Amino acid sequence: MRKTVKIVGIEVDKLDFLEAQEKVAEFLEGDSLNMIFTPNSEMLLDAVKDRELENILNEAQLVIPDGIGVVIASKFYGTPLKERVTGVDLSTKILELGAKKNSRLFLLGASEESVTGAAEKIKERFQGIDVVGVRNGYYSEDEEEQIIDEINQSGAEILFVGLGAPRQEKLIYKYKDRLGVKIALGFGGGIDIFSGTVKRAPEFYQKAGLEWFYRFIKQPSRFMRITKLPKFILLAMVDAATSKY
């Protein structure tokens, strides 16, 4: 039985990093597809306005809180999440576990340079992982079906989709009955982080829950996206207060 906390209508798993890791290990042992999504405040706020995204998140097998705002919001509902579990940290674990089993990985998303660079870095760092395919994320809609066939023909067991939210979640959901993989992860900008194109915030910012602030100083164009954090906190506060009655 999954233990979750419902935050602004979305069920988020109540797991710490170690427990999330165990879940992922189970997924790799199984045969069916497991959708893993990693919402932050911004994605949850978008889901409130986007019914389709809300349903997709609620049908996932694992939803982890990739954002300090989500952890803060869980406290209003009286069932606090233990910690932030980031998509990048969980994907690292998936690759470590996959490396031991010689799992096959497909990377979809980001620029051609970034996705091929990420594949190279992953092969070096996680020896045992078989990168069976890469595809950049700049394609037209008519190519989508053929990309899904390519993923299936590659025999991939793990699929990381880094197209940005909510496009990646919608793609995974649309093809959930056709994809032959065991794990399909919504990866955001994860491919850029693995390739080294984008640097992750230093540990100080991560531990202080200030990774969003670091991203903002590095990319001021993200300003409008960051304003969603206080909006989300406020919305969760009101939602938690009203859902008690």
Interface contacts to ligand UDP, rule CB under 6 A: 109-111, 137-138, 162-165, 188-189, 191-192
Q: Tell me whether residue 73 or residue 240 sits nearer to ligand UDP (CB atom).
A: 73
Cβ contact 167:89 at 8 Å: no
**How far apart (Å, rounded) are the C-alpha atoms in residues 134 and 154?**
10
**How far apart (Å, rounded) are the C-alpha atoms in residues 176 and 33?**
7
> Which residues does 121 contact at the CB level (< 8 Å), separation at least 6?
194, 195, 196
Distance in Å, CB of 44 to ligand UDP, minimum: 12
Question: In this structure, which amino acid lies at residue 155?
Answer: G
Distance in Å, CB of 197 to ligand UDP, minimum: 8
Distance in Å, CB of 31 to ligand UDP, minimum: 29
Q: Tell me whether residue 4 or residue 111 sits nearer to ligand UDP (CB atom).
A: 111
Give the CA dihedral 90, 39, 64, 32, nearest 10 degrees. Answer: -80
- Which residue's CB atom is positioned nearest to ligand UDP? 137
Distance in Å, CB of 243 to ligand UDP, minimum: 27
Distance in Å, CB of 109 to ligand UDP, minimum: 4
Q: Tell me whether residue 76 or residue 189 sits nearer to ligand UDP (CB atom).
A: 189
Q: Tell me whether residue 46 or residue 83 sits nearer to ligand UDP (CB atom).
A: 46
**DSSP three-state, residue 41:** helix
**How far apart (Å, rounded) are the C-alpha atoms in residues 39 and 240?**
18
Cβ contact 27:183 at 8 Å: yes
Q: Tell me whether residue 99 or residue 198 sits nearer to ligand UDP (CB atom).
A: 198
